[in-house]
Structure 1
Amino acid sequence: MTDGLAGKVALITGAGQGIGQGIAFSLAKRGVKVVAVGRTLSKCENTVAQIKERFGQEALAIECDISNLDQLPGVVEQTVNTFGRLDILVNNAVSATIKPLIALELEEINRAMVTGPTATLLMMQAAYPHLKTNGGSIINMASSAAKRWDMTNYGLYAAEKEAIRALTRTAASEWGQYNIRANCILPHAKSPALAWWTENRPEEAAAFVKTIPMGRIGECEDDIGEFVAMLCSDQSRYVSGQSIAVDGGQAYMG
């Protein structure tokens, strides 16, 4: 049995580094044509260059800051114009503000909601008619922040991620009739964002790792990317509307 991924096309936001890049590599090694989207073009071009070197696979880099909402439909259009189809959408790019609720400013709240649920929804809407053609898979990034035993300082970040989970579940319900699957993952990975957090909050980061039963942070490609590839494959064709923690056993999703 094959995984059914060869020849498909995936659009991945935030693919210039970290988790997005790891997912891009794992899909490309299975014959998926990847469109790497990010606000820093050089990083996306680096991802594309590595895909071509490692896997000999076609790929395209597109510069786009997802907070520029009017640009999002054009990213999908450019993807389809280049490769003729779209089968997989990975909404990975996001911003994070970590501070007490009382200290949050309107600009920060708006930015979180724009780059989180709003951009995610608009990308799904733009991708919908193309995913509807042959069926497809949507992977959105959530977080276990809302499952923390102490959510101090993480309220806004958790809120934007929980909104994304709600949108994902709704897409699975409304679009399942067209064989469009939508799932969320809640990942822990050695990304630049996590490296920044570890450097700036070392005590909190050390305590955090101790709560992971497997005792380690995941690898962007070998752990997160490989799981996403499986979730997009034919082997997972009956999985939709789920939020799955890919975190070494830390989060309880019940």
Structure 2
Amino acid sequence: MGLLNNKVALVTGAGQGVGQGVAFALAREGAKIAVVGRTLDKLLASCETIRHRGGVAEPFVCDVMDGAQISRCVEAVVARLGGVQILVNNAQVVPLGRLLDVSDEAFVAGFDSGPLATLRMMRACYPWLKGDGVIVNFASSAAVRWDASGYGAYAATKEAIRSLTRAAACEWGVDGIRVNAVAPHALSPGLQGWVDTHPQEAAEFFKTIPLRRIGDCERDIGRAVVLLASADAGYLTGATLPLDGGQAFWG
């Protein structure tokens, strides 16, 4: 029996990278996974891996920047899998760049895909989460970096998500819903590509991390999300869990 046996987990951005790793980890503990994202081929690949491991997974195409698609997605997940007990808001467009360079369009896309999508998805899942539900939102340590240059716009979107996380925890605790955030360093395909292309720069970056490595999407980030979603973290809500190997100082 897994820690999350027969629970339904909706994971956005689960076709690749950290979202996929989270989906794999939740499925390993018995959760049925709604694999949500924009690209069907990637969703099908994630589902195939989960099924090959003996888990249950179904793909759901959804652009989280579209509120109507979010509503239809949640309805489809409930119809096909029977409900939603775990929601993981991972998908987001990343507006990186220095303040004089980030376009208005990129900044707005960051907010539409980040805090606005997170709020919409939480609202859509709320009726199904009542009683014993868990939400895990994705924040970032970008706002507490030693040098925030080039990360200001991205950090702004992620800090907004942290604020929504705290508010939801306070407002929905009475409904039996726990809401936390994670702030990970995850070895996504994009980051792995940067490491491979810039090995010397990557080596210097690793030196700024006390554990001297970037977290594995499934073993490090996914397993931490499993903990937050399980009864073992049943008294934890409204918190941000740093998953960055000790790099950032949260105070």
TM-score range, shorter chain: over 0.9
Q: What is the distance in 2 between the residues matched to 1:201 and 1:159? A: 27
Instruction: Decide which moves more: 115-124 or 184-193.
Output: 184-193
Normalising by structure 2, we get a TM-score of 0.95
TM-score, with normalisation over the residues of structure 1? 0.94
- CA deviation map 1:149-207 (0-9, x unaligned): 11111000000000000000000000000110000001111102323554677665443
Cα deviation, residue 59, structure 1: 1.1
Q: Tell me the amino acid that sits aligned with residue 182 of structure 2.
A: I
CA 1:204–1:166 in structure 2 vs 1: closer, same or farther (change >3 Å)?
Answer: farther
Q: Kindly report which structure 2 residues correspond to 1:42-61, keeping only aligned pairs within 5 A, or say none.
A: 42-54=41-53, 56-61=54-59
2:19 matched to which residue of 1? 20
Separation in structure 2 between the aligned mates of residue 204 and residue 159 of structure 1, nearest angstrom = 26
**Matching residue of 2:80:** 82
Is the alpha carbon distance of 1:204 and 1:110 closer, same or farther for their aligned partners in structure 2, counting shifts above 3 Å?
A: farther
Q: Tell me: CA distance 1:231–1:8, structure 2 relative to 1, closer, same or farther (3 Å).
A: same
Match of 2:244 among 221, 243, 247: 247
How many pairs does the alignment contain?
251
Whether 2:177 is the aligned partner of 1:180: answer yes
Which residue in the other structure is 1:63 paired with? 61
| CA RMSD of superposed structures (Å) | 1.6
Structure 2: which 5+ runs fail to align? none
Q: How far apart are residue 32 of structure 1 and its match?
A: 0.4
Alignment of 1:86-105 (within 5 A): 86-105=84-103
Aligned equivalents of 2:224, 2:2: Cα separation in 1: 13
Shift of 1:67: 1.6
Instruction: Tell me the amino acid that sits aligned with residue 158 of structure 2.
Output: K
User: 1:228 maps to what in 2?
Assistant: 225
Report the equivalent of 2:134: 137
